[in-house]
Amino acid sequence: MFITDTTNRQELLSRFCPDGLNYWRAVELEFNRPWYIVRVQIQLEDAQQVDAEASITSTVLIADVEDVLNLFNSGAKSQKVKGVSALIPEDLSQSNGWVLEQISAIWASEMPTGKQDGFKKTYFLETECGNRYPVNPMEEVEYESARMTLLQRLTS
C-alpha cells in the first residue's frame, strides 16, 4: 500500500483533477516489499473510427501482486498489459538498495497455515535476469522446494 500525506499534495495540478483525484509529489510505502510499475496500453475507443490502432500507454504504480494479476484477468479488450517491472527492496535483493527488475512470470504456491485444512497462497516473482523473489519478505518458503503453479507469464 502507498500512504499519502497532504503536505505532499501538488495543489496547483490537483485543481484540474476530477473530484476525488489528486496529484502527489511523494507517497510512502507501507511496508518494504516489492511494488510494481505496470505499463498498460489503452485502446482509444473514440479514435477507432479513424485509426483502429490508436492507443496510449499509461503507467500505473501498484502495491499488491493480486492487483497486477487482476489487470491480466480483467477481460477488458480495450487494455493490454505491455510490461511489469518490480522494485525489489534491499533485504530481498540482497543488494545495497532497491533494485528495479523486469518481471517474466508470477508464480503461486499453496502453503499450509498449521490450522486444520488451512492453506495460504504465497506468490513469487521471476525476473528476466533469472532471479526469484517471494512477494512477501516475511515468507520463509524456499522457491525451489515449493510446488509452484504458473499464474501469469509476462511478455515484454
The domain spans of the chain are 1-30, 31-153
Which pLDDT does position 146 carry in this prediction?
A: 62
Mean pLDDT (10-residue bins), the chain, 156 residues: 86 89 86 88 69 80 92 79 91 86 91 71 89 78 67 80
Which pLDDT does position 100 carry in this prediction?
A: 93
Q: 131: which residues sit within 8 A by CB, 6+ positions away?
A: 93, 101
Q: Rounded CA gap, 57 and 91, in Å?
A: 32
Which pLDDT does position 140 carry in this prediction?
A: 57
